[in-house]
Amino acid sequence: MEVIFLGTGTSQGIPIIGSKHPVCLSENPKDKRLRVSVLVKWEGNNILIDCGPDFRMQMLSNPIENLDAILYTHEHNDHTAGLDDIRPFFFRQGDIPVFAHKRVLDSLRKRFEYIFTSTNKYPGAPGVIEHEIVNKPFYFNDLKITPIDYKHNRLQVFGFRLKDFAYLTDLKSIEEEEVQKLDGVKVLVVTALRIEPHHSHLNLEEALEFIERVKPERAYLTHISHLLGFHDEVQEQLPENVFVAFDNLEITI
């Protein structure tokens, strides 16, 4: 299984438009972050987790020819705004399967009514196949996908475990029984928004405590704001098996 970090930035991305913050002005490509998303490549399938506003650019900077499924963590705009841009995949492949909590599907149906409608559909609109998920493992082809249920402030979010890989973005609090589902995971990806505490995301210290609890072989930090600091400086302070993710990083699990 291979995973490409398509985007690793928080909701405004880095740089923030018009910002003079040193991290926003950094010329290091590792400090430029599109909105969060990963692509999981497994046996010829390309499975996308979240489809945010930068989806089109992410598909252009990585040579991705087919899109086989989209898993949604939650309905916030930085995770969903790119759905219209699945059109090139739809034209080649037909309807694209999407997996999400009922609440998230309801939100997508409202915001992308022209995609979900079955009557008088505009000929150029993309199509999807809806799969409602609950907090129980499900299968895509033969791949077992286990939702991990947690809170982003008060909003319910699903993270996902796919074999030895787990992706938990926009995490603030989680019950012990959900943490147990991560037992034996080799690679854990988790939110680390910034240094200071935040109401809906783990900060760096909390993310490191969480990694210590899960004990994966390797962990990667994502959903990063400019207030976390420069990639290279933060990386130097981290334990040996913890990495600051960056856009277009590709890992093998």
Contact between residue 202 and residue 193 where contact means Cβ atoms under 8 Å apart: yes
Give a three-class secondary structure readout of 52-85.
CCCHHHHHHHCCCCCCCEEECCCCCHHHHCCHHH
Name which position in 50, 78, 206, 247 contacts Zn ion (CB under 5 A). Answer: 78
Minimal distance, residue 251 CB to Zn ion, in Å: 21
Closer of 68 and 78 to Zn ion (Cβ): 78
Report the 10 Å Cβ neighbour count for 17.
7
Give the tokens for residue 197.
Answer: 């505490």
User: How far is it, in rounded angstroms, from Cα 187 to Cα 204?
Assistant: 18
Closer of 17 and 142 to Zn ion (Cβ): 17
User: How far is it, in rounded angstroms, from Cα 46 to Cα 40?
Assistant: 6
User: How far is it, in rounded angstroms, from Cα 4 to Cα 53?
Assistant: 17
Closer of 54 and 78 to Zn ion (Cβ): 78
Only one of the segments 15-23, 80-88, 166-174, 228-236 lies at the binding site for Zn ion (rule: CB under 5 A); that segment is: 166-174
Per-residue x/- track, 124-163, Zn ion (CB under 5 A): ----------------------------------------
Cα–Cα–Cα angle for 209, 210, 212, rounded to 5 degrees: 65
Only one of the segments 108-116, 167-175, 183-191, 226-234 lies at the binding site for Zn ion (rule: CB under 5 A); that segment is: 167-175
Closer of 36 and 40 to Zn ion (Cβ): 36
Interaction between residue 54 and Zn ion (CB under 5 A): no
- Positions that interact with Zn ion (CB under 5 A): 78, 170
